Amino acid sequence: MTSMQAQRRPDKEKLRWMYSQMVLIRTFEERVQQDYMSGKLVGAIHVYVGEEAVAVGVCGQLRKDDYVTSTHRGHGHCIAKGLDLRRMMAELYGKVDGQCRGKGGSMHLCDLERGMLGANGIVSAGLPLACGAALSANLRHTDQVAVAFLGDGASNAGAFHESLNLAAVLKLPVVFVLENNGYADATHIRYAARVTNLADRAAGYGIPGVTVDGMDVLAVHEAAGEAVARARSMRTPTLLECKTYRYYGHYVGDAGQYRSKEEVEAYRQKDCISQLEQRLLQEGILSEGTRREYREQATEAVEDAVRFAQNSPIPGPEVGLEDVYVRY
Amino acid sequence: MANLSIRDALNQAMTEEMARDPMVFLMGEEVGAYNGAYKVSKGMLAQFGPQRVYDTPITEGGFAGLGIGAAMTGLRPIIEMMTFNFALQAIDQIVNNAAKMHLMSGGQFCIPIVFRGPNGAAHMLAAQHSQSFESFYAQVPGLKVVTYSDAKDAKGLLKTAIRDDDPVIFLESEMTYGQQGDVPDGEYTIPLGVGEVKRPGTDVTIIAWSKLVGQLALPAAEELAKMGIQAEVVDPRTIKPLDEELIFDSVRKTNRVVIVEENFKFCGVGSEISERIYNRCFDDLDAPVERVTSHDVPMPYAHSLESAVLPNVGRVIEAVKKVLYV
Ligand SMILES: Cc1ncc(C[n+]2csc(CCOP(=O)(O)OP(=O)(O)O)c2C)c(N)n1
Ligand SMILES: [Mg+2]
């Protein structure tokens, strides 16, 4: 990105990329959900369906060499950051060709090559890592930035507050992207916090806090553009809250009885993919034909990833004892 | 040879490594402008500037995690804990991120980081400021645990720890920062996993590390010598990796063992060492292994009570007599 203007108005190519990425994430997650329910996948899996606009809007502003720390709900961030679908799926299947040789699983997907510093099984534990990656960029005199994705639940943990303060005090190029989907497990954020906009907490640390509609990928993209530009050139942090919603339970298998069907339906009406699709069709950036093409491509890519994962060997017992130390 | 305090030896180790490698930096509470809570980092801010020596707010979980993130992206952080008691605030980052990241990532990320600072009791600081943590960290796969008992080892081992590609818990003691010792001139390092016999002997092996070598093991050996008992003092230096061969060699020679540590007795480092001795040197033993440890209580404040809880020279001598049946 060369100017703020360019960041604000994504060109046609960028818009199509956003659309295809959101569709890809949704297709991947629906498939993961399905394979879990039919017993092909096990473990703890948290899907991102409904929240695609956040990962795509934000990562649409990042370079390959920028850093991202993710959460237990990290598949969307990984896909938007460009991770290989085959190796992601193989990791979920616990296979040797997985991104982490079958030793990380859904909650530890990561990719050194693409600056993905890892999903994280500990709520809020990724935030300090993002601060460190940002400091690392500063010390190495690069203009890389770091993004820490986190949930509303994580914003009540100590590491959130420590990280915002550290980023402010040490002037670190970090964008904290708070995915407020209303719930941490079964607990509504209205119960767990006394502020309406969690971005207001930024004021307590003397950094900018912004709240946007996380179901609107263009709004996310624009706000992320400003935050990333600030990080890139001024080397200062931002808290960006994206109000969003997860369509399924907290984890695959959670019936989600703590919320009403009406509530879920109301959010589905504002679906981030449908919104962008309507707009791109109206503006002629997408046609019926290309729309179908993107969807078919996504389905084929996910099918291919599943085939790859299923054909990949399971790791032998010796693999489990490796990678404890670099040298011992 | 130069005669240096342990404080200066540690300072030299950090200073030399930071001069050698621009990716090394120091971070912690009061390490910069104040020159360190115990003055270990004296002069380093002035020499390297604020891009290499960072003062932090009181936020152990935050800066421990920050260090790990920096280590994942090419730097070699030295994270000073004002004391390791406060590192409990950062235990999630140390255990869940630093120790596990290499394996969880399938070997993609390595975490070349050193967490260093004082460990164990000082003097009448009470329960929350007096705990020993060697056994605590040694229990975690993915961490290395390093101690030293003199200035030479302090410098050589810290330099190695900084160059190591795995996370290292480097345990110091505020009681011995002023302890003087001979330090070789010029560049040297000491490998992890290699211990040293601090005093040769033939009748009994006393295994000790960290400040207890100088405070208990060597003075006890002197006392014992007056009684005609020649104790060999073995300092493994690094708890993990552990130089078990050095220990076994000594046991095969003396056939009697006393393990001295400041940790709680339950699941202490000595539990692991004795298990290995039983396993590998069973037929060489003329008596069961004796352990001298802190008692299993949170440290009480009063001097009389603190002294009663901590291991002391008298208890070491008693244990030696017990394994010698005298
Ligand atoms: C420190 C910690 N406490 C509890 C958990 C269990 N847990 C996993 S996800 C989760 C809820 C997180 O909510 P939020 O941060 O809002 O993220 P979301 O699931 O909504 O994406 C909890 C409590 C955990 N993994 N880590
Ligand atoms: Mg949530």
Walk me through the domains of chain B, giving residue ranges and CATH numbers: 2-183 (3.40.50.970), 196-324 (3.40.50.920)
Query: Do the chains contact at A132 and B96, CB–CB below 8 Å?
Result: no
Residues of B with catalytic annotation? 60, 129
- What is the tens place of the pLDDT at every residue in B59-74? 999 999 999 999 999 9
Q: Return the bridge partners of B206, or none.
A: B233, B258
Rg of chain A over all Cα atoms, to the nearest angstrom: 19
Q: Does A140 touch chain B (CB under 8 A)?
A: yes
Residues A27-80 pLDDT 10s: 999 999 999 999 999 989 999 999 999 999 999 999 999 999 999 999 999 999
Tokens of A215: 């179901």
Q: Is B74 helix (H, G, I), strand (E, B) or coil?
A: coil
Report whether pLDDT(A222) > 50: yes
A121 lines ligand 1 (CB under 6 A): yes
Mutate to test the interface with A, among B104, B166, B169 (most CBs of A within 10 A): B104
Report the alpha-carbon distance of residue A21 to residue A147 in Å, rounded: 18
What topology is assigned to A12-309 in CATH?
A: Rossmann fold (3.40.50)
Residues A250-278 have pLDDT tens digits of 998 898 899 999 999 999 999 999 999 99
pLDDT of residue B138: 98
At B182, is the secondary structure helix, strand, or coil? strand
Q: What is the SS3 assignment for A241-308? A: EEECCCCCCCCCCCCCCCCCHHHHHHHHHCCHHHHHHHHHHHCCCCCHHHHHHHHHHHHHHHHHHHHH
Q: Ligand 1: which atom is nearest the Cα of residue A46?
A: 19
Give the C-alpha separation, B26 to B40, whole Å.
11
Residue showing tokens 């961490």: B143
Instruction: Return the residue of A nearest to B142 by Cα.
Output: A324
Please tell me the distance from the alpha carbon of residue B245 to that of residue B249, in angstroms, as a whole number: 6
- Paired with A177 in beta bridges are A149, A240
Region A146-163: mean pLDDT is 98
Chain B contacts of A324, Cβ < 8 Å?
102-103, 141-142
Position A6 pLDDT exceeds 70: no
Whole-number Cα distances in Å, B237 to A103, B28, B117, B280: 32, 25, 16, 21
Q: What is the pLDDT of residue A9?
A: 80
Rounded CA separation A231/B134 (Å): 40
Mean pLDDT, to the nearest integer, of B140-152?
A: 98
- Is A41's C-beta closer than 6 angstroms to any atom of ligand 1? no
- Spans of all domains in chain A: 12-309
Residue B280 amino acid letter: R
In chain B, which residues have their Cβ closer than 8 Å to the Cβ of A169? 56-57
- What CA dihedral angle connects B29, A137, A25 and A278, to 10 degrees? 110
State whether residue A154 sits within 8 Å of chain B by CB. no
pLDDT in tens, B33-56: 999 999 999 999 999 999 999 999
A1-11 mean pLDDT = 58
Q: Which atom in ligand 1 lies closest to the alpha carbon of residue A180?
A: 16
Assess whether pLDDT exceeds 80 at residue A1. no
Which residues are within 8 A (CB) of B253 and not within 5 positions of it... i.e. 6 or more apart?
Answer: B202, B205, B232
Given a cut of 70, is residue A7 above it in pLDDT?
A: no
Q: What is the mean pLDDT of chain B?
A: 98
Amino acid at B136: F
Distance CA A129, CA A163 (A): 9
Alpha-carbon radius of gyration of chain B: 20
Distance, C-alpha B104 to centroid of its chain: 27
Percent of chain A with pLDDT over 70: 98
Percent share of chain A, pLDDT over 90: 95
How do residues B164-193 score in pLDDT, each as one tens digit?
Answer: 999 999 999 999 999 999 999 999 999 999
| Confidence (pLDDT) at A50 | 98
In contact, B233 and B217? CB cutoff 8 Å: yes
Q: Which residues contact B283 (CB under 8 A, 6 or more apart)?
A: none
Residues constituting chain A:
328
Helix (H) or strand (E) holding A5: helix A4-8
- The least confident of A114-128, A192-206, A211-225, A248-262 is A248-262
Model confidence at A4: pLDDT above 80: no
A45 lines ligand 1 (CB under 6 A): no
**pTM as predicted:** 0.96
| Chain B interface includes A321 (CB < 8 A) | no
Angle at A275 between CA A272 and CA A280, to 5 degrees: 125
Q: Which of B105, B51, B126 is nearest to A326 (CA)?
A: B105
d(CA B210, CA B148): 5
State percent of chain B over pLDDT 90. Answer: 100
pLDDT digit string, tens, across residues B255-301: 999 999 999 999 999 999 999 999 999 999 999 999 999 999 999 99
In this predicted structure, the answer to whether residue A3 has a pLDDT above a threshold of 70 is no
pLDDT class of A8 with cuts at 50, 70, 90: low
ipTM score for this prediction: 0.95
Contacts of B77 in chain A (CB under 8 A): 132
Contact B165 A127 (CB under 8 A): no
- Give me A159's structure tokens: 């590491």
pLDDT band at A2 (very low <50, low <70, confident <90, very high): very low
Q: Which of A104, A129, A166 sits opposite B72 (nearest CB)?
A: A129
The average pLDDT across B210-219 equals: 98
pLDDT for B225 beyond 90: yes
